[in-house]
Amino acid sequence: MDQSNSVPVRAFAIDETENGMESLGMLLRVGLPCEVTIGLHCEVTLFPNGPSCVEAIRAWPPDLVFLDLANPDMNGFRIIESLRSLGLRSTLFVALADHPSEYYERECRNAGFHYYEPKPIDPDRLRVIVGEARRYSADPAPESVFDVNA
């Protein structure tokens, strides 16, 4: 058995819609629908609002954070801005966009997001991101690994 998969990836997610949070949480917890379910081996915490997510990240930084750019109480840009001073080098941040655009792509790169993904997130991209979070938490890169899939 591959030991790199023995410890679950800790993932936090905040989405403006309950449906969006539940869908992402299910994919991360259970795995991807295919002929044989491929578990992504994630421990997922879903947050109903920005402030609760920020406090949880400050208390115990996860490996991976999915932030909805359009969250009404505290959008993804405000959340990542409030966390930059913590120097979370082993946490990957994923921006989730309802309406992807080149403008938001640039803004996400400048803000420090590692990935920019349209909603709903593609299961194959999710697999790549979780795999990257597993590697990144073990050996953080000195710079952003920003990747765009829009």
Average confidence (pLDDT) over 40-62: 86
| pLDDT value, residue 48 | 78
Range in 13-27, 76-90, 128-142 the model is least confident about:
13-27
How many domains does one find in the chain?
1
Find the CATH number of the domain harbouring 54.
3.40.50.2300
Which one-letter DSSP state was computed for residue 5?
G
Q: Give dist(CA 76, CA 57) in Å, integer.
A: 13
Q: Between 46 and 128, whose confidence is greater?
A: 128
State pLDDT tens for residues 81-117.
988 778 888 899 999 998 889 999 999 999 999 999 9
Could you tell me the two tokens for 100?
């992807």
Beta-strand pair 9-14/64-68: parallel
Inform me whether the pLDDT recorded for 37 exceeds 60.
no
| pLDDT value, residue 4 | 47
Is 18 in contact with 27 (CB distance < 8 Å)? no
- The answer to whether position 105 is within a domain reads yes
- The answer to whether position 23 is within a domain reads yes
16-20, 21-25, 62-66, 139-143, range with greatest mean pLDDT? 62-66
For CA atoms 26, 145, 78, 116, give the dihedral sign: negative
Q: Give dist(CA 94, CA 15) in Å, integer.
A: 12
| pLDDT value, residue 148 | 45
- The answer to whether position 39 is within a domain reads yes
Instruction: Look at the block and give the residue holding tokens 């992504």.
Output: 40
Identity at 46, one-letter amino acid code: L
- The answer to whether position 18 is within a domain reads yes
- The answer to whether position 21 is within a domain reads yes
- The answer to whether position 40 is within a domain reads yes
- The answer to whether position 148 is within a domain reads no
- The answer to whether position 144 is within a domain reads no
The domain containing residue 12 runs over which residues?
A: 3-139
Q: Which of 57, 79, 71 is nearest to 10 (CA)?
A: 57
